[in-house]
Amino acid sequence: MSALFSRKKKDKTIDMKFDESLGIPKHIAIIMDGNGRWAQKRKLPRIAGHKEGMNAVKKITKVASKFGVKILTLYAFSTENWRRPDSEVKFLMKLPVDFFDSFVPDLIKENVKVNVMGYIEDLPKHTKSAVLRAIEQTKHNTGMILNFAFNYGSRSEILTATQKIAKQAIKGMLDADAITEETLSDALMTGVFSKDMRDPELLIRSSGEKRISNFLLWQIAYSELYFTNELWPDFDEHSLKRAIVSYQKRTRRFGGV
Ligand code: FPP
């Protein structure tokens, strides 16, 4: 009861502090961590935590779109997550199918466009088809981009981009001295987004861990980092408001004074 009360009190405070006119980050990236611990606390199997995590994704997508976020990048499956038990990987590969089957009509209503960054060619057929179908079904939407990092790893992404650039240089299409930060930025998976939005202004990680876990290593060079102890399935509108208020209080100097 007291925990419930203090939570409500905290929420009320954040509602008063939250002011959209102080600036909403154009691009927010989230490491959605803590599904397993959320389930464990309830003596449920880990997959129950992932299912609830999927529901949190639905809620946060709508809230971020309502706040005017332009790109929401969510770390849904890393290139390292294949190391999990087979049954959990199988469940995580089925999640996009359930997610898009049930949520694409809402995405269309909200004018949200789906993008997926990652090595989707290595996904099981049913996962890959669900992802490609959702991209196709939402391709004309002009609102927020819901960008799933799925079978994504930042070091691999940088390697792939470097190989792409090296091949161009070998073919004589590019002079090695002409390779700039922009060349690499263009060659990364986020290169499909406009230049002013491809790097997130705000990176959030739930569950209390303070690690980056091979996520957007190049793109977060100047991002504000926000860590919360909340477990991902508990992350809601108020949690996002708290992260944005924290972001708004910071002065971004990009190395200047
Ligand atoms: C990390 O929590 C979470 C994941 C590896 C999976 C993220 C997936 C979702 C949030 C579901 C939504 C996905 C889609 C495609 C809509 P963890 O399992 O590492 O938690 P733990 O650290 O507490 O064990």
Please give the domain boundaries of the chain with CATH numbers for all domains: 25-153+198-248 (3.40.1180.10)
Instruction: Give yes or no for residue 53 CB within 6 A of ligand 1.
Output: yes
Residues 64-80 have a mean pLDDT of 98
Catalytic residue among 15, 35, 55, 81: 81
Residues 47-65 have a mean pLDDT of 98
Is 81 an annotated catalytic residue?
A: yes
Instruction: Give yes or no for residue 127 CB within 6 A of ligand 1.
Output: no
- CA–CA dist 202, 149 (Å, integer): 16
Give the percent of the chain with pLDDT over 70. 94
What mean pLDDT value characterizes the chain? 95
pTM of the full predicted structure? 0.94
Residues 72-93 have a mean pLDDT of 98
- CA–CA dist 207, 247 (Å, integer): 18
Q: Whose CA is nearest to atom 12 of ligand 1?
A: 54
Instruction: Give yes or no for residue 25 CB within 6 A of ligand 1.
Output: no
Is 33 an annotated catalytic residue?
A: yes
Instruction: Give yes or no for residue 50 CB within 6 A of ligand 1.
Output: yes
| DSSP result, 35-48 | HHHHHHHTT--HHH
